[in-house]
Amino acid sequence: MSTLTISLVQTALHWEDKDRNLAMLEEKIRAITERTEVIILPEMFSTGFSMKPDQLAETMEGKAVAWMKKISAEKRAIVTGSLIIEDNWAYFNRLIWMQPDGKYGYYDKRHLFAYAHEDQHYASGNKRLIASAKGWKINLQVCYDLRFPVWARHQFAATGGPPEYDLLIYVANWPERRNQAWKTLLQARAIENQCFTIGVNRVGKDGNDVYHSGDSMVVNPMGDVLYTKAHDEDVFTITLNKTEVDDVRAKLPFWKDGDKFMILDA
């Protein structure tokens, strides 16, 4: 129960073309031959990072969500990534954590990327999602959230106990022009939270001619990079061991000296 096998899907995306993206991703996922337990897709994996939610959004009963249920059941693995979702007359950049039994959790992106006017088209989330899998606690976040360490930080005062999670995951459409920040901050989040951190990004140009170099990454609790890939599409599977998190926190219990705080109004 201490291991968790995860597949990262770094891919180009067909701009605002849901059918082509789902078909392409299905082919890549079905080609995974190793036994995997969690499959991570990029941010807005069915459309690319589009500011046209009025044209592209679906409900939680829509095509891409149904596709996630089908793939999760077929692979007997959790599938996660974000989609453009309409809910209660608002649009969200929503990360979905789909389980093989069809049950799911979701997280609405908290920090909207105003530089690209995301805040003008989408509603912000106000609640974190820390999911569970095989005894692991997993904090799920989206792209621009990476720049805001408080949102990822363990809230000891709220839990009254040890760190809240063991693995931090970011799904993204992060441009190559700022990839140094992406790579540095992924390592920083791992070090400061003493956890495994995974970032899954897309590659290639989007419909706005913005190039993405991928640089998807797996970082261990000491900040060492276990995997990264730039520019090329890649599906990479890795097995993480929770005892590594436990050992680092036991031998170097820096987390005990962390500031006690709670986010009162997200």
DSSP for 70-139, please give it: HHHHHHTSEEEEEEEEEETTEEEEEEEEE-TTS-EEEEE-SS--GGGTGGGTSPPP---EEEEETTEEEE
Tell me the pLDDT tens digit for each residue of 208-262: 999 999 999 999 999 999 999 999 999 999 999 999 999 999 999 999 888 888 8
Tell me the pLDDT tens digit for each residue of 137-194: 999 999 999 999 999 999 876 666 789 999 999 999 999 999 999 999 999 999 999 9
CA 193/CA 29 separation, integer angstroms: 30
Catalytic residue among 69, 109, 183, 229: 109
Please state the pTM of the whole predicted model.
0.97
Q: Which fold has domain 3-257?
A: Nitrilase/N-carbamoyl-D-aminoacid amidohydrolase (3.60.110)
Catalytic residue among 16, 58, 118, 143: 143
Residue 195 among the catalytic residues:
no
Q: How many C-beta atoms surround the C-beta of residue 52 within 10 A?
A: 13
Catalytic residue among 43, 58, 118, 176: 43
